[in-house]
Structure 1
């Protein structure tokens, strides 16, 4: 079963409530990811993947300028549909096992502005990778985004039968000092949203929410996923 709750949450909260600033721009988003990694690693989990994302709406008048900057990053490809034109630059960093991608979406309907989406993803996290990712995100911020850009960090880790999913989830909540706001649970999944002062690069959503945690415990595929302000990947 694939869960895309994060996308739905983003749309509802951005449209219905807006965003509240909480130290945006003062802390690099990779620092938030590094904090998540430290907590999950201390609980004996094994990292599966990470993703950092920055996104911002841009004026249609500035599209040509952004396309020129994209060309400087590398070879770009264009994908056209009835609804939008998408310009993508994909840059694998094989030595660091990192994928860097930037996407410019220009809706066909001229009533809508364009959107720029930058992502870095990978399957390993070390201090060297942290510094490397930090340099990349800082450069992307300066070249393409303003301080109003929305930033996301997400990390997924796995754990074996020797670790209790419930205890792990509670320990992660405590170490990140999460004050819970909502909780959903079924036979396989536990999903919690909350607020923490330990993750500072992202902006808070409605009700001061700036963290989401998901536990999948069972069938030999036990994972825990943490995202700020929400989970942006499948969990």
Structure 2
């Protein structure tokens, strides 16, 4: 009887774990990060998703023309230096309080490739924001990027009376099953780089592939800003 009872519990735990893993795989990293922060009641300061790609320079004119289909013409700016031509387009979406920015750099060197990036940034996340993010990022990616696009997700959180940086590191490492690869520890600043099996995109780390970074910085007033990103944090922290 005891053996059957233990077997049922074990099977139940395995099913729950598989369900959690499956559900996590279905969601984008930014959604998983926001979900975890909400579970731990960590106030959201900012979320950001950035896409980067490298294209053949023959597509420069095509991309420049397409920008007007996705951004108001008055929000598109072109600058030229001795080294490159830079196109910048930005737009504020008031309903979701999010900002999108597109940058294309076309080097004067004819052998150089075009560097393009697109970012969506906001200070709140709800169903309306989520819907806008997926619709917008999907259409922009399809029109302007290739299948080699690299996507970076980042979340900035602020501590509260119940949660400090020690708790932050422990919880996110546990929930995302992070294998720590490198750690920088200073008096008011900590950064942990590692690997989680939940996300496929990786970059070369110090000794192994990595796809997650967690950082915490304390200011003079004792407040802590916590940042988490995949595969690395590409914002200031």
For the superposition of Structure 1 and Structure 2, which TM-score range results when normalised by the shorter chain? Answer: 0.7 to 0.9
Structure of greater relative contact order (alpha carbons < 8 Å, 6+ residues apart):
1
Given the alignment of the two structures, is residue 134 of structure 1 paired with residue 134 of structure 2, yes or no?
yes
Which runs of 5 or more structure 1 residues have no equivalent in the other structure? 1-26
Question: Which is higher, the Rg of structure 1 or of structure 2?
Answer: 2
Asked if 1 retains the 8 angstrom alpha-carbon contact of 2:48 and 2:121, the reply is: yes
Equivalent residue number for residue 149 of structure 1? 149
Q: Distance in 1 between matches of 2:142 and 2:115?
A: 17
Equivalent residue number for residue 179 of structure 2? 179
Equivalent residue number for residue 231 of structure 2? 229
Given the alignment of the two structures, is residue 204 of structure 1 paired with residue 202 of structure 2, yes or no?
yes
Q: Distance in 2 between matches of 1:155 and 1:126?
A: 15
- Cα distance per residue 1:66-106 (max 9 Å; x no partner): 11111222321112223221111111101110111111111
Asked if 1 retains the 8 angstrom alpha-carbon contact of 2:164 and 2:224, the reply is: no
Q: Structure 2 matches for 1:44-59, cutoff 5 A? A: 44-59=41-56
SS in 1 for 2:69: helix
Q: Distance in 1 between matches of 2:193 and 2:235?
A: 15
Q: Distance in 1 between matches of 2:48 and 2:214?
A: 15
Q: Distance in 1 between matches of 2:95 and 2:164?
A: 35
What's the offset of the Cα at 1:41?
2.0
What's the offset of the Cα at 1:217?
3.3
SS in 2 for 1:48: strand
Which runs of 5 or more structure 2 residues have no equivalent in the other structure? 1-24
What's the offset of the Cα at 1:184?
0.7
Aligned residues: 206
Q: CA RMSD in A?
A: 1.7
Q: TM-score if structure 2 supplies the norm length?
A: 0.82
Q: Structure 2 matches for 1:54-69, cutoff 5 A? A: 54-69=51-66
SS in 2 for 1:96: coil
Q: Distance in 2 between matches of 1:111 and 1:185?
A: 42
